[in-house]
Amino acid sequence: MVFSGIVEDQGEVVGVRPMVEGKPDDGITVDMRSKVACSDAYIGCSIAVEGVCLTATEINAEVFTVGISPETLIKTNLKDLTKGSKVRYAPAVCGVLQ
């Protein structure tokens, strides 16, 4: 996936929980609010959150959910996300090769 690096929206973390209940070292699931990011999103699409490419696993009108692996948490600042954290989004660039 390619991202433009242009931030299209700022949203908010509305939920953070372990990916596997009782096992916080197995990654986290994060729910984020963003009308803009959700407008064209679909399950499986890529959304850059704070510059990190993540895959949407659930989407509704204003909230999308991503899973963040332990390795991504180690290598990025996403480990610091908490409910209420402000985050920036950039969607993937779509293009057609001719």
Q: Tens digit of pLDDT for each residue in 7-24?
A: 677 899 999 999 887 776
Helices (H), the chain: 35-39, 70-75
The structure's pTM equals 0.82
- Which residues, in sequence order, are bridge partners of residue 18? 28
pLDDT of residue 48: 87
**8 A C-beta contact, residue 87 and residue 7:** no
Domains and CATH numbers, the chain: 9-91 (2.40.30.20)
Rounded to 10 degrees, the C-alpha dihedral 38/39/41/42 comes to 100
The pLDDT of 61-86, averaged and rounded, is 95
The pLDDT of 15-40, averaged and rounded, is 84
Mean per-residue pLDDT of the chain = 84
